[in-house]
Amino acid sequence: MSDHAIAHAVSRRRRFRLCPRLAACAVSVPLVAGGMAAALAAPRPDLGLHDDPVVARLVDESLAARMDIRQAEALTAAERERVPQAGALPDPVLGFGIQNDSFKRIEIGRAETSFYQVMVSQGLPFPGKRALRTEVAGLAAEQVQTSVARVRLSTEAEVRRAYLDLLLARERLQLLQGLEAIWQQAAGIASTRYETGEGAQADVLRSQLELGRIAQRRALLQAEEQMRVQALNRLRGRPLGEPIASGASIRDVLPGGPLDVDALVDDAVARSPELAQARLGVARAGKQVALAERDRYPDFGVNLGVMPRGSLEPMWTVGVSVGLPVWLGRKQGRAVVEETRRAEAESASAASVEHLLRLRVAERSSALTALRETIRVYRAGLLVRSRATVDSTVSQYGVGRLPFVAVLDANAGYLDDEDGYVVALAAAQRIAIAAQEVSLDPIAWTVGGEGMRGSAAAGGAAAGGGMAASGRSQPLQRERGAGAAPGM
């Protein structure tokens, strides 16, 4: 195929195949470049996100102290400095010379063809190239700017997750305190029954054993609480040991109203830095195709010169030069094909990011709906009946109507229910935080997994280990990859 045929085929391919994508991109670029800040500040769909003055203050302090934000802002400012450079003319060239008619002596002023020469040359790109190069550089700067939005969103989410983990640790400490009071009551009844000959010594020993395990778990939870405080202080650039007071309790969080999945999708599409960057990549690739097409046309050069001749009248010269695209088929034509393929790849990448984003919104909506139903069941009477079962079992054990093993089982069930409730609240909060972060990470939760209690040995293996002795399972196992707290 001839060079002219290649160029013609490339031009047709770009007009008939790429232009629809570029038209769609041209519509989306104003939203990405000019509306992303407004989208980040706009009201967001209600997900029942835990919020109080304490976490708001921690977020503000962390945003002010985060070095990653300053780094991203500096890189954005540096990239913006490239925009005027891209549209600037080439530097002019100043040249000096001499033309002399003799090798024996300088003939300037004696011979008409002998002179000094001062030349200025200025390259002039073909019309439209400078504007396209400026637009390409501007879109590249916009792509870098999306990293600032991503760091800010991730910083806020990291602080909220760390604060949620702190609240969860403190809530579990309070739950442990209530469980300890129940076991102390059971231990007192067991001792009384044993002293009067109505109970077994094994009941006394078992109640003392459970109180010892509670002391062990309290130490682990206190260590976890301290680690959560240290993590928050690191995020806000404060001394690690500085105390942080809690605001509202995790139990004060309301599940929120029905989810509007369409509104959640629209919000995620408007605020996602990754999608904004991908769309800007499509727009940039389109401009690069147009620039490659424009590069098929030659650049110009203008030359101005003055030639002093001593006592003779000086001369001047003006010239224009034009590049000859004699290698069009191997260079400029191939460059258009290359940029066209890159534009197609960018378009496919943007479509993939948007598809993944919509999937994540749907996944979180389904998980959040299930967790809200779980929380509703807890609040509808399950927790009240669980505590009533404990009180009734302990009372009946005290009068000899039930064996001590019933007390063990009732206490274990009560712990399961209370812990499952607060963990369900925390899991719902983590999903809401991920939604506000516009994260593309999956939610790693399962149904029917190992519960949060575990055995005493399992609890000792991680901070905040198991809070009860029996091995009853929990209906939901919280996500680990999305910032879930370790098991109790």
Q: Quick check: is 488 in a domain?
A: no
- pLDDT above 60 for 471: no
Mapping DSSP onto H, E and C, the string for the chain reads CCHHHHHHHHHHHHHHHHHHHHHHHHHHHHHHHHHHHHHHHCCCCCCCCCCCHHHHHHHHHHHHHCHHHHHHHHHHHHHHCHHHHHCCCCCCEEEEEEECCCCCCCCECCECCCEEEEEEEEEECCCCHHHHHHHHHHHHHHHHHHHHHHHHHHHHHHHHHHHHHHHHHHHHHHHHHHHHHHHHHHHHHHHHHHHCCCCCHHHHHHHHHHHHHHHHHHHHHHHHHHHHHHHHHHHCCCCCCCCCCCCCCHHHCCCCCCCCHHHHHHHHHHHCHHHHHHHHHHHHHHHHHHHHHHCCCCCEEEEEEEEEECCEEEEEEEEEEECCCCCCCCCHHHHHHHHHHHHHHHHHHHHHHHHHHHHHHHHHHHHHHHHHHHHHHHHHHHHHHHHHHHHHHHHHHHCCCCCHHHHHHHHHHHHHHHHHHHHHHHHHHHHHHHHHHCCCCCCCCEECCCCCCCCHHHHHCCCCCCCCCCCCCCCEECCCCCCCCCCC
**pLDDT surpassing 90 at residue 5:** no
Number of domains in the chain: 1
On whether residue 485 sits in a domain, the answer given is no
What is the span of the domain harbouring residue 140? 3-477
What is d(CA 244, CA 236) in angstroms, rounded to the nearest whole number? 12
Q: Which residues of 178-217 are buried (b: 16+ CB within 10 A; e: fewer)?
A: ebbebbebbbebbbebbeeeebeeebbebbeebeebbeeb
Q: Which of 214-218, 408-412, 459-463 has the lowest mean pLDDT?
A: 459-463
Give buried/exposed letters for 450-463 (b at 16+ CB in 10 A, else e): ebbbbebeebbeeb
Percent of the chain clearing pLDDT 90 (strictly above): 60
Q: How far apart are CA 296 and CA 153, in angstroms?
A: 43
**Residue 108: predicted pLDDT:** 87
Q: Is the pLDDT of residue 463 over 50?
A: no
Rounded distance, CA 480 to CA 282, Å?
35
pLDDT of residue 40: 60
pLDDT above 80 (res 446): no
pLDDT reported for residue 451: 37
How much is the mean pLDDT over the chain? Answer: 82
- Return the pLDDT at 345: 96
Higher pLDDT pick, 47 / 387: 387
**Contacts of range 199-203, beta carbons closer than 8 Å, 24 or more positions apart:** 199/404, 200/404, 202/404, 203/404
What does the pLDDT read at residue 448? 39
Q: Would you say residue 439 lies in a domain? A: yes
Q: Is residue 214 part of a domain?
A: yes
Q: Is residue 206 part of a domain?
A: yes
pLDDT in tens, 223-275: 999 999 999 999 999 999 999 988 778 888 766 777 889 999 999 999 999 99
Amino acid of residue 78: A
Residue 110, pLDDT > 90, answer no
42 token code pair: 């706009």
Confidence of residue 349 (pLDDT cuts 50, 70, 90): very high
Tokens 């404060």 correspond to 238
* CATH number (domain holding residue 339): 1.20.1600.10
Residue 320: the pLDDT is 94
Residue 16 lies in a domain: yes
- Return d(Cα 76, Cα 141) in angstroms, integer: 6
Assess contact for 479 and 443: CB atoms under 8 A.
yes
Please write the tens of the pLDDT for every residue from 114-153.
999 999 999 999 999 999 999 999 999 999 999 999 999 9
Judge whether residue 3 has pLDDT over 50.
no
Out of 371-380, 436-445, 456-465, pick the least confident.
456-465
What's the pLDDT score for residue 307?
93
Residue 23 pLDDT > 90: no
Residue 483 lies in a domain: no
Average pLDDT over residues 273-281: 96
pLDDT at 212 over 70: yes
Torsion angles phi and psi, residue 91, rounded to 5: -65, 135
Q: What's the pLDDT score for residue 386?
A: 93
- Residue 67's nearest CA partner among 163, 148, 143 is 148
With a cut of 90, say whether residue 299 has pLDDT above it: yes
Q: Residue 469's closest CA among 218, 217, 187, 221?
A: 217
Check residue 41 and give its pLDDT.
61
Look at 365 and 23; give whichever has higher pLDDT. 365
> Across residues 477-487, what is the average pLDDT?
36
pLDDT tens, 25-51? 444 444 454 556 666 666 667 676 767
Q: Which residues contact 457 (CB under 8 A, 6 or more apart)?
A: none
Across 73-88, average pLDDT? 94
Residue 217 lies in a domain: yes
